[in-house]
Amino acid sequence: METIQNFINGQVTSSNSERFSPVYNPATGEQTRQVVMSSPEDAKHAISAAQNAFRAWAKTPPLRRARVMFKFKSLLEENQDKLAKMISNEHGKVYSDAVGELTRGLEVVEFACGIPHLQKGESSANVGSGVDSHSIMQPLGVCVGITPFNFPAMVPMWMFPIALATGNTFVLKPSEKDPSLALMMAELLKEAGLPDGVFNVVNGDKEAVDVLLTDPRVQAVSFVGSTPIAEYIYTTASAHGKRCQALGGAKNHCILMPDADLDMASDAIVGAGFGAAGERCMALSVVVAVGDEIADKLVASLSKSIHEMRVGPGIVDGKENDMGPVITAAHRDKILGYINAGVEQGAKLAVDGRDYQVAGHENGYFVGPTLFDDVTPDMTIYQEEIFGPVLSVVRVPDYESALTLINDHQYGNGSAIFTRDGETARQFSEDVLAGMVGVNVPIPVPMAFHSFGGWKRSIFGPLNVHGNDGVRFYTRMKTVTSRWPASVRLETHSSHFTMPTMD
């Protein structure tokens, strides 16, 4: 059985830990590997390597750091097939979706290639007579990323390309459920010319994470995962003086207005609800249909589309499936528990995905696409994040009720509206309490040069990931005010005891 170890100081490094976690192929239910659950000493070893590498990397001109990113980008492209197959193998998502994930990660690398421009800082001449001012955006030091299972390549790439390009060193703690991508990316970064120790991977769980959150040498922590863990990470890292951004869970709603293009909306909703088996933080989980007439048509249309969906393994010889398995047997059972709770609490099960069998993959972790109608806000399936292929339809009489419903929910990651009316769409964009908004776009994931992040209990910390916020997160601003020695020639010196102001 292959054991996935750590990557520290430019090489695969065996841990002294005797704890391991199984890694499965979710499409077959077979254990394919095991991953080491690192000891506190392993985490400290990785931090030491990152700390030792920091000074030289921070002093490396941004242009040279960017060239490593350019090379890393081409290596990602050359190795796309191998990487996508590994994502599909360990996560379960279908191959083309794995390629899509890689593309979205690669776009952040492309953004990071522009770091000489992004890290220029600001400059003002003559802030006072003969006085100039400029800011320097300096790297922080050792930065940490702790990432979830659902995007084993993309979410780490929301973080480390910008952290590295701005001159920081990095320790990544990937999900123990699909850890191989982290090591594959570490090897590619080395091949791209990244000096040893600048990027390190520590596999494991809370034991390693707690060291990363508390060690005084760590300057910043980026986390993406579920909300309870995000709260823990944010509280602990902040209490230890670290800069922290912690992105949490979601319950993304869309409003379906009576004037929407129903065919377009229905197709978009099926893809956004069930793509990646609903294991996306931007997956659509609730459709708020305004009026019974469009709700009835939508449920009929969604039911038909769901019955036509192909569910099966992520990699096949012939025509690709639309949706793969969920990540583990435990997660499948949790999702089934939610579906049962929905039925018990009175929601109407329009399409039942329980007892779903995929021929030849009887031991895979499959849940069929599931559709609930007549869901109400008091139900567990409405209140909690399910993170599986379960879509709920809530019926409301008017737009105001739909907006209130969304704004009252604990999560505020993404939100969308389907309408033909520009004024309603504009009003919605302005009033909805969510970080990312789609107008006739069901999964409004911002591009790499914008920033990604939700509102409410979907994020803890003031700065989002990638885009300008990402550059800000990984840099510390220093403002230099300088006066040059004309004063030596021309002025008589005197001390000033009042607050300096410029004239």
Of residues 225, 211, 276, the one with CA closest to residue 37? 211
Query: Is 313 a residue that touches ligand NAD (CB under 6 A)?
Result: no
Find where tokens 């914008």 sit. 450
Torsion of CA 39, 44, 45, 47, to 10 degrees: 130
Query: Is 147 a residue that touches ligand NAD (CB under 6 A)?
Result: yes
The residue (of 62 and 314) whose beta carbon lies closer to ligand NAD is 314
Query: Is 236 a residue that touches ligand NAD (CB under 6 A)?
Result: no
Query: Is 152 a residue that touches ligand NAD (CB under 6 A)?
Result: no
Query: Is 461 a residue that touches ligand NAD (CB under 6 A)?
Result: no
Tokens of 408: 């009252």
x/- mask, ligand NAD, residues 250-269, rule CB under 6 A, reads: x-------------------
Q: Looking at this protein, which amino acid is placed at residue 369?
A: P
Coil vs helix vs strand at 34? strand
Catalytic residues: 281
Identify the burial level of 500 via C-beta atoms within 10 angstroms of its C-beta, where 0-12 means exposed, 13-18 middle and 19 or more buried: exposed
Q: How far is the CB of 206 from ligand NAD (least distance, A)?
A: 4
Query: Is 175 a residue that touches ligand NAD (CB under 6 A)?
Result: yes
Among 132, 187, 205, 384, binds ligand NAD (CB under 6 A): 205
Of 132-140, 171-179, 298-306, 355-363, the segment contacting ligand NAD by CB under 6 A is 171-179
Residue 441 near residue 419 (C-beta atoms within 8 A): no
d(CA 104, CA 84): 13
The residue (of 49 and 155) whose beta carbon lies closer to ligand NAD is 155
Torsion of CA 329, 460, 160, 139, to 10 degrees: -160
Among 150, 266, 464, 475, binds ligand NAD (CB under 6 A): 150
For 117-170, the DSSP string reads HHT---EEEEEETTEEEEEEEEE-SEEEEE--SS-TTHHHHHHHHHHHHTT-EE
Q: How far is the CB of 473 from ligand NAD (least distance, A)?
A: 14
E strand intervals along 419-474: 436-439, 455-456, 459-460
Query: Is 289 a residue that touches ligand NAD (CB under 6 A)?
Result: no
Of 65-73, 126-134, 150-158, 255-263, the segment contacting ligand NAD by CB under 6 A is 150-158
Tokens of 223: 């986390």
The residue (of 248 and 438) whose beta carbon lies closer to ligand NAD is 248
Query: Is 43 a residue that touches ligand NAD (CB under 6 A)?
Result: no
Query: Is 249 a residue that touches ligand NAD (CB under 6 A)?
Result: yes
Query: Is 209 a residue that touches ligand NAD (CB under 6 A)?
Result: yes
The residue (of 248 and 470) whose beta carbon lies closer to ligand NAD is 248
Residue with the shortest CB distance to ligand NAD: 225
Find where tokens 């591009």 sit. 447
Q: How far is the CB of 75 from ligand NAD (least distance, A)?
A: 24
Query: Is 226 a residue that touches ligand NAD (CB under 6 A)?
Result: yes
x/- mask, ligand NAD, residues 404-443, rule CB under 6 A, reads: ---------x------------------------------
Who's near 189: CB < 8 A, 6+ residues apart? 68, 72, 164, 198, 199
Q: Name the DSSP class of 46.
A: H
Side-chain half-sphere CA neighbours of 338 within 13 A: 25
Query: Is 83 a residue that touches ligand NAD (CB under 6 A)?
Result: no
Residue 447 near residue 439 (C-beta atoms within 8 A): no
Query: Is 203 a residue that touches ligand NAD (CB under 6 A)?
Result: no
Of residues 299, 254, 306, 280, the one with CA closest to residue 388? 280
Q: How far is CA 482 from CA 18, 131, 423, 477, in A?
A: 57, 6, 50, 16
Query: Is 146 a residue that touches ligand NAD (CB under 6 A)?
Result: yes
Of 221-229, 286-294, 353-361, 362-370, the segment contacting ligand NAD by CB under 6 A is 221-229
Q: How far is the CB of 249 from ligand NAD (least distance, A)?
A: 4
Residues 339-398 that bind ligand NAD (CB under 6 A): 385, 387
Using CB under 6 A, count the residues that bind ligand NAD: 27
Query: Is 97 a residue that touches ligand NAD (CB under 6 A)?
Result: no
Q: Looking at this protein, which amino acid is placed at residue 379?
A: M
Tell whether the torsion through CA atoms of 296, 298, 301 and 306 is positive or negative.
Answer: negative
Residue 294 near residue 262 (C-beta atoms within 8 A): yes
The residue (of 155 and 347) whose beta carbon lies closer to ligand NAD is 155
Query: Is 148 a residue that touches ligand NAD (CB under 6 A)?
Result: yes
Q: How far is the CB of 359 from ligand NAD (least distance, A)?
A: 29
By the criterion CB under 6 A, which residues form the site for ligand NAD? Answer: 146-151, 155, 173, 175-176, 205-206, 209, 224-226, 229, 247-250, 281, 385, 387, 413, 454, 458
